[in-house]
Homo-oligomer: A and B are copies of this chain.
Amino acid sequence: MDKQPRKFDKELDELKKKLIHMAALAETMIDKTVRELVDRDERLAEKVPGYEEELNRLQIEIDEAALTLLATRQPVASDLRFIMAATKINGDLERIGDLAINITENVHVLAQHPPLKPLIDIPRMADLARKMVRESLEAFVGGDPLLAQSVIMTDVQVDALKEQVLRELLTYMIGDPRTIERALALILIARHLERIADHATNIAEDVIYMIQGRDVRHPRTPKERPPGLEV
């Protein structure tokens, strides 16, 4: 073997490692933020803004590394698709970080009021979303289309939980106007978690596209969506 391809493989590995690091940070942000919400202990998420800054930095590093690789290595076929996927996935992971920050802000609003109800569905949504983020990156790194497919299927569960949260909290709001601000904050947290799951789904779809060259990004027509409030 000559030296060039081995150096290139190392550069691709470096890109992978940065993306895995981004995913681990995003997962930690979701975990800490939702634990702060459940345990009502604001020290739990105090490092979350710092993680977001690290995510931003990594996103830029990955874009720069991808541009350099494209310009200097002029990759084709699967390497090219891998690098293109990396520059899309870093954007999804960065936005997951932004959403975790949004959740934190709603958690701070809730911390100023007594708890509205025991939280069950929102922590479940958070667990599923974290699993989706982790597994979408595992699918990317391992080139595993089946794992990516299972991430896409999990999104249906997250959507169903969000609908359930919305319906339940609407009932609270209508029954007692004093619950409105808290219920709205919880609805928005559920919405942010659902969007995190959507970003993990985007990543999984990019992985399948990368591996199989098949586009799975728009499988549903709008007509199949259930009617009702679109949170």
Q: Residues on A close to B: CB < 8 A? A: 49, 52-53, 56-57, 59-60, 63, 66-67, 70-71, 74, 76-77, 80-81, 84, 87-88, 91, 101-103, 105-106, 108-109, 170, 173-175, 177, 180-181, 184-185, 187-188, 192, 209, 215, 217-218, 221-223, 225, 227-231
Contact = CB atoms under 8 A, between A and B. Distances in A.
Dominant SS among interface residues on chain A: helix
B71 A76 contact: yes
Contacts of A230: 101-103, 105-106, 188, 192
Contacts of A76: 71
A63 to B, nearest CB: 8
Contacts of A217: 56, 59-60
A81 B215 CA distance: 24
A10 B228 CA distance: 45
- Copies of this polypeptide in the complex: 2
Contacts of A77: 71
Contacts of A71: 76-77, 80
Query: 8 shortest A-B CB distances, which residue pairs?
Result: A105-B230, A56-B218, A49-B222, A74-B74, A102-B230, A71-B76, A174-B177, A173-B180
Contacts of A181: 170, 229
28 contacts: A53-B222, A56-B218, A57-B218, A59-B217, A59-B218, A60-B218, A63-B209, A66-B84, A67-B81, A71-B77, A71-B80, A87-B88, A91-B91, A101-B222, A101-B230, A103-B230, A105-B227, A105-B228, A105-B229, A106-B229, A106-B230, A170-B180, A170-B181, A173-B180, A174-B177, A181-B229, A184-B184, A188-B231
A217 B148 CA distance: 28
A76 B230 CA distance: 43
A177 B70 CA distance: 57
B188 A105 contact: no
A161 to B, nearest CB: 18
Contacts of A231: 188
A108 B231 CA distance: 13
